[in-house]
Amino acid sequence: MVGLTKKKERIDQLAASSATAVVDPTDVESSGGSILADAWRRLRVSPVFWIGAVIISVFVLIAIFADVIAPHDPGELLLRSQTRLARNQLAPPQPGFPLGGDQLGRDLFSRLVIGSRQTLLVGVFATLIGFTGGLILGTLAGAFGGKVDTVVMRLVDVLLSIPSLLLAISIAALFANPSQTSVIIAVSVVQIPVFARLLRGQMLAQRESDHVLAARALGVKRAPIVFRHMLPNSLSPVIVQATLVVAISIIDAAALSFLGLGSQSVKVPEWGQMLGEAQQKIDSYPHLAFWPAGCIIVVALGFTLLGESLREALDPKNRR
Amino acid sequence: MLRYIVRRLIQLVVVMFVLSLLLFLWLRSLPGGPDSAICGERCTPDQRVAMRHALGMDQPIWVQYFKYMGRVFTGNFGYSSGVEPGTPAIEVFLHRLPATIELTIGALIFAIVLGIPLGYFAARRKGGIFDNLGIISSLVGIAIPVFFLAYLLKFVFAVKLGWLPDSGRQSTDLAQPATRVTGFFVLDGLITREWDASWDAFRHLILPSIALGTIPFAVIFRITRSSVIDVQNEDYVRTAEAKGLTTQVIRRRHILRNAMLPVVTVTGLQVGALLAGAVLTETVFAYPGLGQATAIAFQLRDFAVLQVLVLASAATYTLVNLVVDLSYALIDPRIRTR
Amino acid sequence: MPLLEVEDLGVEFRRRGLEPFRAVDGVSFDVDPGQTVGLVGESGCGKSVTSLAIMRLLMPRGNRVTGRVSFDGTDLLRLPIRDMRDRRGRDLAMIFQDPLSSLNPVISIGLQVTEVLQRHRGMKQSAARAEARDLLDQVGIPDPDRRLKEYPHQLSGGMRQRALIAMAVACRPRLLIADEPTTALDVTIQAQILQLLGTLVRENGTALIMITHDLGVVAGLCDEVNVLYGGRIVERANRHELFATPQHPYTHGLLASIPRLDAPAGERLHPVQGSVSDNIPWTSACAFAPRCGNEVDRCRSASPELTAAPLGHGHQLRCFNPVLPDGAGVGATGGSAPVDSAGEAL
């Protein structure tokens, strides 16, 4: 209700449009194959999809093999002797240290490589938690309707009425000692109402759809209808949203780090934290900020591109 | 229509009520709540008990809630402890409000004036170079963290090139600083005919507005583009073509008017992103608005100011969306005549 | 001299990632002034695409239109688009299938009617307003003054279609194309709309191209009928001949598939077997062969031409083994095809 009806209606519309497509048998027929095969046919020729996929693959590979790739321990002050902050001097790039040292004399390259892990963790876990929470709430509301729906959705409305970053900050502030975990929780809780609303809209559209009505008329019980008919057909816009949320979470987490609500760990580097620290001295050493920022932008862009291409491919309007 | 407005206003009250409850619970569960914030890190247990009593924290929770609600209704949120120590929180809020409104309007103007025409042209030449450039830059615009973009702009245009001021709302060395009338410095300068002051305030607004307006710009660009593309394929546009209408009439009356509906909605939703983005942008540009106050209040645990800010931003967001919905009814007869 | 001559019209869809698809393939027909010509076939046969191609309403991107569409001596397909815009709505107008989606939801009915008058008849606001009122009255919309101020969603389905018709006939066009004008309407409303169209056409001497899948509409309204299948005309005849001696197995099937009230209760329906997706290309075969009960070997190895039919005058046919009365062919196509997939062919 209140104020945000439009935001919701848009989410619901999104839901409804794809729901009808899934239901309409002629649509499936004309595309000459399953929805997935059809989507894949369009993805295969989409440069947006391939750029996104390559960025994400490279990023995930780096995160997995970070220990092998990183030449040094990211926490060790190997280049401290060359660092003179008073004279605005940092260790320059040199053999073994392709990007030089940071303000404490640690190897910048190794910190970036190891940092990819934390970023991946934040992105993936925040999305998983947000997705799962939204899935539970949305399924409850969508499957039962009535009072359950009203209560769940009112709560969702209230949460949606707080600007997302402000909500994330508020949640992060609840933790006495900010850490990677608190960041993940703060960033993911923000996404729960979004997923819940999206999924509920989908489920409601499905409830009214012909095949669910048919199943109900045939006497199929509630649980099988929900889990076999409604849920699978509701998922495609949710998957698109999930891909985009990975990018949003990474950016939000960086914002929390910037505001001093991120991980304070000295040992485990994280891009948002590196960026936050570097920004205090951006006038003197801009490259210290540009590297982690560049990494965040490229990865966020990768997930955004993937999400956009999926949306495009799964959009019933594009199905001919 | 009137009943619709009344119903929406009642809903607004309900949401604000639930929100205030959540806010109360949230304030209560913050680490080292108000007592130790005021008392300091090193206070003896005795001092703490005394402080808790003074703050009414030893009373039953529902009593505390009623007292809290009473304070909310009278606008008495207590005194700021960190942002502007000693000032009533509500005054901190009111004093800084014009600065943020000015910045938000600047950002919205930047986003709308650029986003809608560019989105429209991209849609007209779908798949062309301009379209692809537009899509790529809007995707990058969404992927850049706001605060980094703010730093980037500040670094390039203020620090390196020196074209624009790098922080604050007005220059300290201004021969004749603006007289405060409304609190909107650009406007104040125009009212009092202090042209220099007005121009100076405007120059201070440019970089923060661009930084803050980039995400809304990207979103508005994309929704305009996709909405125009959708509407172009609508049956009624084909009807208009079949009627032999001129291209201008088709574009203006049949395509743009319909395509603007989702754009209005999404623009309203961007106000949420602006309120959040202001926290980051104002911090980077040391811009003395509500966003900067929010960041400081969190760092210094200034709870009095915090609750005003959270409550106010949620209220603003919901109100703006109500206004958007109503203005929507003005363009869409399907809602107006319901 | 015919008002409209369509010669060898072809439309090819070229979509990224898909094989080019010939939606309309060598379609030729004439329309005389005041004549009503039907284009009949199931969905996907190319009848709507034909009409859009005549009006030049297909997007230039992804669609290739070939052939000639000569209107009163001018080839519309080669006309500069500006001149084409001048003619649309004035010389030739079109009515669409779904009246709700074909009307602009955020503009009043009045403006949607007057904008045509202002554009083509150079009328001033007030004159156009009065004329629009008369037009609504003419198409049978009660209380036209009120309706002018209303929006499409406030009108009933039949009313919307009447409003669309009013817009189409506003400038007394010489050719009207109606693309399934009754499909989205209730049966009782359908009859009213058809009657209205018939009256308007007769009174104004307008030529009409009626696009439909409904043979009932054809029987009631059309002088001449073209049956389309897979983008080609497979049978052409005047109305009486077509209903008396349908000779293409497809036409025969369409007619046989209409349930008869005088048939004994419990008798099977006779749908046309298969669906459009069973088509094979026309290049070296008959596209209808896979669904045809009359198929002979040649049907799969050569492409039939449109030639004079064995029976009737001016009756044309694209078939190697037509259905003839008294078992001259292999037999009635309808036969006993139990699979219900006649689609819209009722």
**In a mutagenesis test of the A interface, which of B147, B157, B309, B322 is the best target, namely the one with the most A β-carbons within 10 Å?**
B147
Amino acid residing at C176: L
Best-predicted range by mean pLDDT (A101-110, A266-275, B295-304, C193-202)? C193-202
- In percent, the amount of chain A with pLDDT more than 90 equals 3
At residue A15, the pLDDT reads 43
Is C335 domain-assigned?
no
Of B70 and C56, the one with more pLDDT: C56
- For residues C179 and C201, membership in a common domain is answered with yes
b/e map B118-144, b = 16+ CB within 10 Å: bbbbbbbeeeeeebeebbeebbbbbbb
Q: Residue A30: pLDDT above 60?
A: no
Q: Residue A209: pLDDT above 80?
A: no
pLDDT band at A314 (very low <50, low <70, confident <90, very high): confident
At residue A166, the pLDDT reads 85
Cα separation, C211 vs B93, in Å, equals: 67
Final residue belonging to a domain, choices C206, C225, C241 = C241
- Dihedrals phi, psi of A59, to nearest 5 degrees: -60, -45
At residue C177, the pLDDT reads 92
Strands C224-229 and C232-238, sheet pairing: antiparallel
**Choice among A178-182, A277-281, C151-155 with the minimum mean pLDDT:** A277-281
- For residues C50 and C61, membership in a common domain is answered with yes
**Which residues of chain C does A30 touch, with a Cβ-Cβ cutoff of 8 Å?**
277
pLDDT band at B210 (very low <50, low <70, confident <90, very high): very high
Is C334 domain-assigned?
no
Q: Residue B190: pLDDT above 50?
A: yes
Q: Residue A13: pLDDT above 70?
A: no
- How deeply is C214 buried, as exposed, middle or buried, from its count of CB atoms within 10 A (0-12, 13-18, 19+)? buried
- For residues C235 and C132, membership in a common domain is answered with no
Task: Compute the mean pLDDT over every residue in chain A, rounded to the nearest whole number.
Answer: 76
- For residues C276 and C153, membership in a common domain is answered with no
At residue C339, the pLDDT reads 36
Lookup result for tokens 């074209």: B163
- Interface check B129 vs A, CB under 8 A: no
At residue A320, the pLDDT reads 42
Q: Closest by alpha carbon to B92, among B276, B289, B314? A: B289
**Which residues of chain A does C20 touch, with a Cβ-Cβ cutoff of 8 Å?**
none
Q: What is the mean pLDDT of residues C289-303?
A: 83
Q: Closest by alpha carbon to B287, among B176, B214, B209? A: B209
Find the CATH number of the domain harbouring A60.
1.10.3720.10
CB neighbourhood size of C182 (10 A): 24
Cα separation, B135 vs B153, in Å, equals: 21
**Which residues of chain B does A9 touch, with a Cβ-Cβ cutoff of 8 Å?**
265
- In percent, the amount of chain A with pLDDT more than 70 equals 82
Residues 99-118 of C with CB under 8 A from B: 101-108, 111, 115-116
pTM attached to this predicted model: 0.79
- Interface check A29 vs C, CB under 8 A: yes
**Which residues of chain C does B261 touch, with a Cβ-Cβ cutoff of 8 Å?**
106
Interchain contact, B249 vs C119, CB within 8 Å: yes
Best-predicted range by mean pLDDT (A88-97, A104-113, B123-132, B216-225)? B216-225
**Which residues of chain C does B258 touch, with a Cβ-Cβ cutoff of 8 Å?**
104-106
In angstroms, the separation between the Cα of residue A28 and the nearest Cα of chain C is: 13
- Interface check C160 vs B, CB under 8 A: no
Give the domain range for residue C129: 100-172
pLDDT band at C22 (very low <50, low <70, confident <90, very high): confident
Of C200 and A103, the one with more pLDDT: C200
- Interface check C271 vs B, CB under 8 A: no
Is A9 domain-assigned?
no
pLDDT band at A18 (very low <50, low <70, confident <90, very high): very low
**Which residues of chain A does B265 touch, with a Cβ-Cβ cutoff of 8 Å?**
6-7, 9-10
Residues 44-73 of B with CB under 8 A from A: none
Is A198 domain-assigned?
yes
Tens digits of per-residue pLDDT, A133-145?
988 888 888 777 7
Q: Residue B93: pLDDT above 80?
A: yes
At residue B37, the pLDDT reads 56
Tens digits of per-residue pLDDT, C99-119?
888 998 888 899 999 998 888
- Dihedrals phi, psi of C94, to nearest 5 degrees: -140, 145
Q: Residue B94: pLDDT above 60?
A: yes
Distance of alpha carbon A51 from the chain centroid: 17
Q: What is the mean pLDDT of residues A48-76?
A: 83
Query: A45 to chain C: nearest residue by CA?
Result: C17
Instruction: Provide the ipTM.
Output: 0.82
- For residues C208 and C276, membership in a common domain is answered with no
- For residues C16 and C74, membership in a common domain is answered with yes
- In percent, the amount of chain B with pLDDT more than 70 equals 90
Q: Residue A79: pLDDT above 80?
A: no
Q: What is the mean pLDDT of residues C16-27?
A: 81
Cα separation, B34 vs B81, in Å, equals: 10
Q: What is the mean pLDDT of residues B227-239?
A: 89
Q: What is the mean pLDDT of residues B12-31?
A: 80
Cα separation, B191 vs B177, in Å, equals: 14
Q: Closest by alpha carbon to B18, among A152, A197, A148, A11? A: A152
CB A291 within 8 A of CB A279: no
Quick check: helix, strand or coil at residue B174? coil
- For residues C179 and C164, membership in a common domain is answered with no
In angstroms, the separation between the Cα of residue C104 and the nearest Cα of chain B is: 5
At residue B209, the pLDDT reads 93
**Choice among A171-175, B8-12, C75-79 with the minimum mean pLDDT:** B8-12
Which CATH number does the domain B93-337 belong to among 1.20.1640.10, 3.40.50.2000, 1.10.3720.10, 3.30.390.30?
1.10.3720.10
Beta-carbon contacts of B67 under 8 Å, excluding residues fewer than 6 positions away, are B56, B59
Task: Compute the mean pLDDT over every residue in chain C, rounded to the nearest whole number.
Answer: 83
- For residues C22 and C133, membership in a common domain is answered with no
Tens digits of per-residue pLDDT, A241-283?
888 889 888 888 888 888 888 777 767 788 888 887 777 776 7
Residues 177-236 of A with CB under 8 A from C: none
Residue C131 tokens read as 């004329």
Tens digits of per-residue pLDDT, C33-73?
889 999 998 887 888 899 999 999 888 778 888 999 998 88
- For residues C178 and C77, membership in a common domain is answered with yes
Chain region(s) in chain B for CATH 1.10.3720.10: 93-337
Instruction: Give me the helices (H) in chain C, please.
Output: 47-55, 81-87, 99-102, 109-120, 125-138, 144-149, 157-169, 187-204, 215-221, 239-244, 249-256
At residue B155, the pLDDT reads 83
Instruction: Output Rg (C-alpha) for chain C, integer angstroms.
Output: 21
The total of structural domains in chain C comes to: 3
**Choice among B109-113, B144-148, B169-173, B242-246 with the minimum mean pLDDT:** B169-173
Whole-number Cα distances in Å, B86 to B81, B299, B319: 6, 17, 30
Residue B131 tokens read as 């379209």
Q: Which chains touch A (3 or more CB pairs under 8 A)?
A: B, C
pLDDT band at B113 (very low <50, low <70, confident <90, very high): very high
At residue B108, the pLDDT reads 93
A107 beta partners: A101
Q: Residue C343: pLDDT above 50?
A: no
The closest CB to that of B268, out of A6, A169, A255, belongs to: A6
In angstroms, the separation between the Cα of residue A127 and the nearest Cα of chain C is: 33
Q: Residue B41: pLDDT above 80?
A: no
- For residues C25 and C148, membership in a common domain is answered with no
pLDDT band at B66 (very low <50, low <70, confident <90, very high): confident
Find the CATH number of the domain harbouring C86.
3.40.50.300
Is C179 domain-assigned?
yes
At residue C337, the pLDDT reads 36
Residue B4 tokens read as 């619709």
At residue C342, the pLDDT reads 38
CB neighbourhood size of B155 (10 A): 18
Query: A317 to chain B: nearest residue by CA?
Result: B230
Q: Residue A317: pLDDT above 70?
A: no
- For residues C48 and C184, membership in a common domain is answered with yes
Q: What is the mean pLDDT of residues B49-57?
A: 69
Cα separation, C172 vs C91, in Å, equals: 8
Tens digits of per-residue pLDDT, B286-326?
888 898 898 888 888 777 788 888 888 888 888 887 888 77
CB neighbourhood size of C16 (10 A): 9
**Which residues of chain B does C118 touch, with a Cβ-Cβ cutoff of 8 Å?**
none
Q: Residue B105: pLDDT above 60?
A: yes
Tens digits of per-residue pLDDT, C212-249?
888 888 888 888 999 998 888 999 998 888 888 888 88
In angstroms, the separation between the Cα of residue B131 and the nearest Cα of chain C is: 16
pLDDT band at A311 (very low <50, low <70, confident <90, very high): confident
Is C342 domain-assigned?
no
- For residues C167 and C179, membership in a common domain is answered with no
Instruction: List the strands of the sheet with C74-75, edge to edge.
Output: C21-31, C4-13, C63-71, C74-75
C70 beta partners: C5, C75
Task: Compute the mean pLDDT over every residue in chain B, rounded to the nearest whole number.
Answer: 81
pLDDT band at C277 (very low <50, low <70, confident <90, very high): low
Q: Residue A25: pLDDT above 50?
A: no
Strands C4-13 and C232-238, sheet pairing: unpaired
Interchain contact, C153 vs B334, CB within 8 Å: yes
Is C249 domain-assigned?
yes
At residue B112, the pLDDT reads 93
The total of structural domains in chain A comes to: 1
Give the domain range for residue A140: 55-83+105-207+233-318
Interchain contact, C115 vs B257, CB within 8 Å: no
At residue C37, the pLDDT reads 92
Q: Which chains touch B (3 or more CB pairs under 8 A)?
A: A, C
Residue C175 tokens read as 């050719």
**Which residues of chain C does B236 touch, with a Cβ-Cβ cutoff of 8 Å?**
101-105
**Which residues of chain A does B276 touch, with a Cβ-Cβ cutoff of 8 Å?**
163-166
Interchain contact, B333 vs C106, CB within 8 Å: yes
